[in-house]
Amino acid sequence: MNIYLDIDGTLIHEDLTERLGKPANGLPEFLQAIQHHNLFWLSTHCREGDPARPIEIMKRVTDKSLHPIIESIRGTVWDTAKTQGIDWSQNFIWFDDTISEFEWSKLEQATENQQVIEMNLRDNPNQLKEITADLLQ
């Protein structure tokens, strides 16, 4: 299965509180739970396919033991909509906090094994923990 990952607001808090720039609760366990899947950055930090910037960002907020997982995550190429970076011929889960109306309309074509999980760390700072417990294990 392909797993597509946004960063800001999905793996790292972006709300203007004391959590700004800090990893989401349960990030280490989440990364360990998904590490055996095909992992891709689907982030504004990686529009042209180069994973260097997402890797740099994630290494700053994670323990060194997680760096091999982070380094294994590949980049995606997209222009105006993140759905352009998704391989629609494969099963996937896409984790993101901001999905445009256009992207939602494209997701209407998804099969039952192709899904998006909309993240909201502001309202649920434990969402990654819950996902890891409920969905990925």
Contact present, 116 and 2 (Cβ < 8 Å): no
Enter the tokens of residue 120: 């909201």
pLDDT (mean) for 12-37: 89
Domain boundaries, the chain: 2-136
Integer Cα distance of 38 and 53 in angstroms = 19
Contact present, 81 and 42 (Cβ < 8 Å): no
**11-30 per-residue burial string, b: 16 or more CB within 10 A, e: under 16:** bbbbeeeebeeebbbbbbbb
Fold for 2-136, please state it: Rossmann fold (3.40.50)
Question: pLDDT tens across 64-112, in order?
Answer: 999 999 999 999 999 999 999 999 999 999 999 999 999 999 999 999 9
Question: pLDDT tens across 64-75, in order?
Answer: 999 999 999 999
This prediction has a pTM of 0.94
